[in-house]
Structure 1
Amino acid sequence: MADLFDNINDWLMQEALDENPLTSIVETFGRRLVEGGVPVARISIGRSILHPTIGLLDVQWEQDTGQVNTQAVPRQIVRNSLEIFDTPFGELSKGKTDRLFADLRDPDEVARFPMFEQLAARGMTYYAAFSRSFGRTHHLYERISNEFRGASLSFTTKRFSGFSQADLDGLERVLPAFCICLRMDIERFVAGEILETYLGKISGKQVLDGQVERGDGQEIDCAILYSDLRGSVTLSQTLDSTAYLDTVNAYFDCVATAIDEHGGEVLKFIGDGVLAIFPFDEANRPRANMCAAALSSAQEAFARAEHANRGRSGDGLPALHFGVGLHVGTVIYGNVGTARRLDFTATGPAVGLASRCEGMTRELDTPLVATGAFAEHCPRAGADLGQHRLRGFADPIALVSYPLT
């Protein structure tokens, strides 16, 4: 006959298949253990993660509150902090053991880790932790074993006599199923983070929601921002490769950060150019507001560059100069490419016009130029630059300029 832990095992496997959020799984897991007679007061999960900025994810459940709290520990802290390894998680991460027990009523046991002193002060009496490795081996940190690529799961009780042996055996039995839930959550999280990093938040969500086939796409109305670094060919010939890449990245930091802060989506870094959109949604992203946001992001990018150039001048580095073109129109937003190499982007005449508009910043000697169509929808007035013929467009295009502040 199935016991509590068999039932929890079955439930965990179904939760993994359903890809339910880890926080809800942990909350229900703790509640089911308590309701089933296992006196768990606290559950803590620590897991390493292959991520550019996050080193560890820590999830904690407290029986007193029923709340689940999640904390992301930056890679830099994991790499440089000695304290983080003076923990049960740090001990398990060395790969020499996959379980750790402590009687928190024993002063000698409590003295093993500062964490034990904190738990004992809160009335905890016994601590049990288990670790499991799963997935591919990643050499993440010097002080973590190459074989450690999974998670640790700890349970703490306030029961005076601690956990029974049956409790400990049962908790260890459900560990594999729980780790499957963890792995599913990690892979979903990392996939989302990677897609957001490489495609952007809006485009990454589109792909995760199933827009993955070549030709999948839709027409959307948006403000379009196109920016290009000035003098990049000369810079590439006069700077060494490291200094040149640092310069290009400094420019991207100015432009892309400003776009992101104003609700835009950077679709592509094209050599030393940036293509971004500000999609319209009349309920949440009205046309006038998004045009204003696109203009504000461009002005913020120039402000960031001015600030960066003061430091670059003192370091003997070339100043950042670039142009920005703004337009508004309908774009084809979706997957293009071949069957085996796809790109999620925006394309169409409106994108080409934004690019041509940026090209006019050199001819007109003004760094921020928009089309008349953009100006019609933007609540901030620009200065009329007249009609201009742009390559690839039969009819003259009205252009306006905007101040950098």
Structure 2
Amino acid sequence: MDAALAVGYTAVAVLIGREYHDQWLPLDTLGYALTVTANLPVAFRRRAPATVLAVCLMAWIVSITIGYYPALNVYGSMVALYTLTAERPRWMAVTGGGLVAGTWIYAGALAARASMASVIVQAVVFVAVVSKFGDNAGKLAARNRELAEVTERLRVEQADRARRAVADERMRIAGELHDIVAHHMSVIAVQAGMAAYVHDRSPEDAKAAVGVIADAAREGQEELRRMLGLLRAPTGDAEGVPDAAAPGLSAVGGLVERMRAAGVPTRQVVVGRPRPLPAGIELCAYRVIQESLTNVLKHAGPAQVTVTTEFHVGELAVRVSDDGTGLSDDGTGLGDVTGSGHGLIGMRERARLYGGTVTAGPRAGGGFEVVLTLPATPERTER
């Protein structure tokens, strides 16, 4: 574009110079060379506007001094001044404008066809207009650059948010898989160990244990199918809020029954008046209870367990406590069930997601206790 502009200005100047101008020298070889030098450098105006302006001005001044038509080579200097004002510091623009105005006045003085006052006014007005346009173009370019930078920052931030959202969703899915698989596999492992232990002495107990294994496997399969179905759904909440079909407090009784079937005496206590809670709160409470009972199967040994759900004003509290002392001496029930150590971390992260807390530790009278508290005000409903 700049090259075409430079060639165009040069061609116009040459055509004007070839016309007869009374009082001024006709273009010769030197005149053509000066005309080309005063206009063609405009092709490089964006790379080095100050240098281009200096070259164009020098060629213009020389051509005026020799006696060629004064208005012949003004175009290149004006375009170079425009670019200098738009892209360089103000002091350079002011200096360049002064030089162009001075050259214009010098040309007017040599022409001697108009009063000096008129020549000075023309020089000041033309230079001021060109400089103003250049300054506006520079400000617009600066705003466009700022807008491009802001757009790029927003794009990067959006990409970061998307990556964080993907990471959070992966963590959520990993937590769901851990809670589902760990609990049911623990029940299966316990019952498999029990079945192997009593197989010869009590076939009926072994058969019952196998039945519990089958039930746990089916329930785990159903939960996995439900979760995978939610993941495949084309629409869903962007925050990953659990679907209403997710297990909640009403399903805690099934966990208690499964613990009893596994040979662990377990009772359920409800304090306060039960009320519907947001699906996310109920799923969080259910998963914490499920993980706590899984840990009892893994680590408590012979124990009695109490699952307490307390409905308070604006708060839900869940306690899972046992009086166990660790693995039994004969190793029955638990077999080689081990934990990864991530259960408590996952519970705390899940509670934090919903604004709650989890505390866990040994009880003063023996055993272990997990306490979950969650905000559960009536107005916090999920749509």
Common fold, TM-score beyond 0.5?
Answer: no
* TM bucket normalised to smaller: under 0.3
Instruction: Give the TM-score of the pair, scaled to structure 2.
Output: 0.22
Greater percentage in strand: 1
Q: Which has the higher helix share?
A: 2
